[in-house]
Structure 1
Amino acid sequence: MKSKSGAIFLSGLIAGTLDILAAILIYAVILNKTSAIKILQSIASGVFHKEAYTGGSQMALYGLLLHYLIAFVFAWFYFAVYPYFSFLKKNVYRSGIIYGVFTWIVMNLVVLPVVFPVLPAKNFDFPLVLSILILIFCIGIPIALINKKHQLLRK
């Protein structure tokens, strides 16, 4: 894809889809800890607070839209900073891993504490590692790969 905006849109769409599917597959289907609707409502609760959990499928839709908005922002940000950081250009998989970890840091140490001032303590355990791996493989690497393909097509 030669268009930068098209590549950003595609990477946000793919990353957002992979991330939400991973969350639903792992937490709702495999671990049976919640439902897909509750996952989406919890995303919506960042804006709508407790009302998100009583709003049914409409709030789930808002959660999905918010999820994609966040994915598009992370995709746009990667494309924006890529030209200024030479280490991102050296190895696409290393860049994707770094960006996935960066995404986890931003979401869990900046965004979530601002939106939800009272959060449970984070422990270095399997759920934390799993959440980082999801962002590496569903956000970081796909965005880095699409950006790399975009850079190659521009030449």
Structure 2
Amino acid sequence: MLPVKENKPLLPAILAAGLLTGILDGFAAVVQYLINTGRNPVMVFRFIASGIFGKPAFDPEATFMPVWGLFFHLAIATIFTAIFFFLYPRIPFFSRNRITGGVIYGLVIWLIMNRIVLPLSNTPSLPFKLKSAVTGILILIVAVGIPVSILAARYYERPGFRTEEQ
């Protein structure tokens, strides 16, 4: 079932949903960091930038690193959003179970990020802490998984939308 362009093109819907989920997830990460450490939340985005740039991302003189971190964060959120939008019309479970699908997708995102992406990146290794893992999973479920599932449903189930199979 491939989407056919009718009223609303797919790319702007993905970009808007990716931006929204990226902002929600970034805000939750900043709040969590502030609660846990009381330190400057810009470090969240320096940490993200370190995935590409390594230790230089933490240099106080590298004032542009938080911007890179924000850019990478939003790009990753948009990529995960695009993947879900691609899967939504192909996996009927998602349209029949929007909330459960969003919960599962949030968990899948956490697994991919923490078991594949971060270990392959230049970010500093962090010790596994169950409380942090559960908090991270819940943030991804609430800030990314469920919203992207609802937004994909709104996109694909709008009046006038059809797939090539219809």
TM-score (normalizing by structure 2): 0.85
For the pair 1:48 / 2:74, whether they are aligned, the reply is: no
Match of 1:13 among 19, 31, 49: 19
Q: Which residues of structure 1 form unaligned runs of 5+? A: none
- Tell me, yes or no, if the aligned pair for 1:19 and 1:138 is still in contact at 8 Å: yes
- Tell me, yes or no, if the aligned pair for 1:37 and 1:57 is still in contact at 8 Å: no
Aligned partner of residue 118 in structure 2, secondary structure: helix
Q: Partner amino acid for 2:96?
A: K
Name the CA distance, whole Å, in 2 between partners of 1:117 and 1:75: 23
- Tell me, yes or no, if the aligned pair for 1:78 and 1:143 is still in contact at 8 Å: yes
**Between 19-28 and 52-61, the greater mean CA deviation after superposition:** 52-61
Shift of 1:34: 3.5
| Structure with greater Cα Rg | 2
Task: Report the equivalent of 1:35.
Answer: 40
For residues 110-148 of structure 1, the C-alpha deviation after alignment (integer angstroms, 9 at most, x for no partner) is 10111148734424x221100000000011011111101
Q: Partner amino acid for 1:87?
A: F
Name the CA distance, whole Å, in 1 between partners of 2:90 and 2:127: 35
Match of 1:78 among 73, 76, 84: 84
Give the direction of change, closer, same or farther, for the CA distance of 1:151–1:99 in structure 2 (3 Å limit).
same
Shift of 1:37: 1.2
Q: Which residues of structure 2 form unaligned runs of 5+? A: 1-6
Aligned partner of residue 83 in structure 1, secondary structure: coil
Name the CA distance, whole Å, in 2 between partners of 1:33 and 1:102: 29
After superposition, the CA RMSD in angstroms is: 1.8
Name the CA distance, whole Å, in 2 between partners of 1:111 and 1:87: 26
Select the structure that is richer in helix: 1
